[in-house]
Chains A and B, each alone.
Chain A
Amino acid sequence: MNCLISERSNEMENVQCAEQWISEELILEKYSLYKNILFQIAISYLGNKYDCEDVIQEVFIRLCYHAPEFEHDENEKRWLIRITINLCKNHVKSFWNRMKVPIDGLEEYFSQDEDKEIMSDIIRLPAKYKTTILLHYIVGYKISEISEILSLTESAVKMRLKRGRELLRVELEDVK
């Protein structure tokens, strides 16, 4: 059962809900289901696994205590992705964090220098292009779905994807 704290219409429901937090099995199930996809998104923003760990831990604690009730699993997945992106963006907003070279530890995931360089380019990509790139290539969302998630027009999403690909020098493939 999902636990809603902030948006219940009845105070006593709050109490009831607080007593019945999301179950241990369910939170671990959700965590297993989404951990890698959220990790891949987080590391594309933060560039090191330690900050990613903080963010992902926080995302799932929020799921325990602050998540709204989801009608569908897809809504829950989108909520988790959105929270992850928001937390990552908050983290990199800081001038001080921006002064850090955010690629410590990429060697652990990329043995080839070329791949590491590409990942570094992805990390440095402006957030608005990066978000669309990640949603499209990691999560596999279509343009229409990304436009729903980001509340943008489809043409705006297309433009951001196009610009992101240009900055990364990615060639389109005919994917059928």
Chain B
Amino acid sequence: MKESELKKILTKPVMDQSMDQRITDSLLYHEANAGKKNYKVGWMRTGYLFSQKVLNYSISKIAIAVFVLAIVGVGTAWAARSDVKSYSTDIKIMTEEEIDEEELLYPDSEKTIKKRYGTGNKMIGLLMDHNGNIREIDEDGYYTFEDGSKFLAPFIPDPNRHDNDRKSGNEAFAEIGYSNLIPTYLYENYLLGEGGFVYKEETLSNNVNHQYIDASFFQDYLYKDFTESIYIHFTSSETSVKDPASIFIVDNDDENNYIYSSYTTKGGILCSALEDEENNSVMFHINFDSETMGNGMMSIEFINMKMDKMKEILDTIPLTEDNADSQTIE
């Protein structure tokens, strides 16, 4: 390929009119409200900015194959002696070329249902001090400066946003018959991503029903280049997830360095961890069985966060392991 052809391809995509209009509207919307001092906008939960968007949480064949392998591969029922049992997970890094899709027995998806809960949170810019710290807004919606002067904030966060996020989580997990499994620390200190909880149900060609929930959380009040963020993926399973505890991460960059470790929460839940130093990202994976709560696999990925904070968050996962002997620590 010639350089001119590369340039032609790179510069070919042009923003379509509908996207252009949505972005323009959102910018004007921000602008209009920024000028109205008595206009309370805060954390919009109306979905105004996103109502016209097509859902974009499509999952790749590869990702699906990972979980299909994990779920379909189990045939034996498991008799639980204690309520929750967690297992270690073998996390493998593979390139796309290394993955043999035939071997993964990927069945085609016949039917997909997708629902969202709690959409519309929008990160907004708030006033900072000299050190780049976000200034607090009091209950009346004012910033207070060092000299005692006050300034009405153009945006006032919704005081109910954390409760709303928790309720949305309850609804999303109830959709698959589970209790809310999101670490409670996140509801108290972070904000649900604007896409909300994404519930997805797929009926595969082999009649296996596959249900999962995606959610992301971000730092509350912050709006910086490198914010902390947390991505959660939960997959339910009708059968035990003890044996096929293996997931694949697709990474085609052979220069990345990964570190494997594990952490056991204060509640006794074993979390297998994979750290990607290059991207300042750590993914914890939890496989658990429970007769009362159901079986499932949960991935919690932390980006730009300290290990102490990650552990503090993991400790608030509402799962408690009673029988430590059930864990298979490598």
Contact = CB atoms under 8 A, between A and B. Distances in A.
Interface of A: 5-9, 11-12, 14-15, 18-19, 21-22, 24, 27-28, 31, 35-36, 39-40, 43-44, 48-54, 56-58, 60-62, 64-66, 83, 86-87, 90, 93-101, 104, 108-110, 115, 118-119, 122, 124, 126, 133-134, 137-138, 165, 168-173, 175
A39 B14 contact: yes
Contacts of A86: 225-226
A119 B149 CA distance: 54
A60 B49 CA distance: 14
B59 A100 contact: yes
Interface stretch (B5-13, B156-164, B167-175, B200-208): B5-13
Contacts of B249: 95, 98-99
A65 B58 contact: no
Pairs A-B, 8 closest by C-beta atoms: A65-B125, A50-B56, A101-B60, A99-B63, A6-B128, A109-B13, A93-B279, A21-B34
Contact of B10 (A51, A101, A134): A134
A137 B130 CA distance: 38
Contacts of A62: 125, 223
28 contacts: A5-B128, A11-B147, A15-B151, A19-B37, A21-B154, A24-B31, A31-B24, A36-B14, A40-B10, A48-B56, A51-B56, A53-B23, A56-B23, A57-B23, A61-B124, A62-B223, A66-B125, A94-B301, A94-B303, A95-B231, A100-B60, A108-B16, A110-B9, A115-B12, A118-B1, A122-B9, A122-B10, A173-B3
B62 A40 contact: no
Nearest to B256: A126
B75 interface: no
Given A64-B34, A134-B10, A35 B20 contact: yes
Contacts of B176: none
A11 B146 contact: yes
B28 interface: yes
B61 interface: yes
Contact of A96 (B123, B233, B274): B233
Contacts of A90: 225-227, 229, 303
Interface residues on B, range: 35 or more
A54 B121 CA distance: 13
A104 to B, nearest CB: 6
A124 B31 contact: no
Given A24-B31, A99-B62, A40 B11 contact: yes
Contacts of B62: 99, 101
A7 B132 CA distance: 8
Given A5-B128, A14-B127, A40 B7 contact: no
Interface string B276-305: 100111010000000000000001010100
A95 B28 CA distance: 34
A31 B14 contact: no
Contacts of A98: 249-251
A62 B31 CA distance: 12
A115 B63 CA distance: 25
Given A64-B34, A168-B1, A173-B4, A94 B281 contact: yes
B213 to A, nearest CB: 12
Interface string B21-63: 0111011101110110100000000000100011010111111
Interface in B118-158: 123-125, 127-128, 130, 132, 145-147, 149, 151, 154
Given A31-B23, A35-B20, A21 B31 contact: yes
Nearest to B8: A115
B27 A40 contact: no
Contact of A36 (B15, B56, B125, B225): B15
B313 to A, nearest CB: 16
A150 to B, nearest CB: 15
B98 to A, nearest CB: 14
Contacts of B224: 66
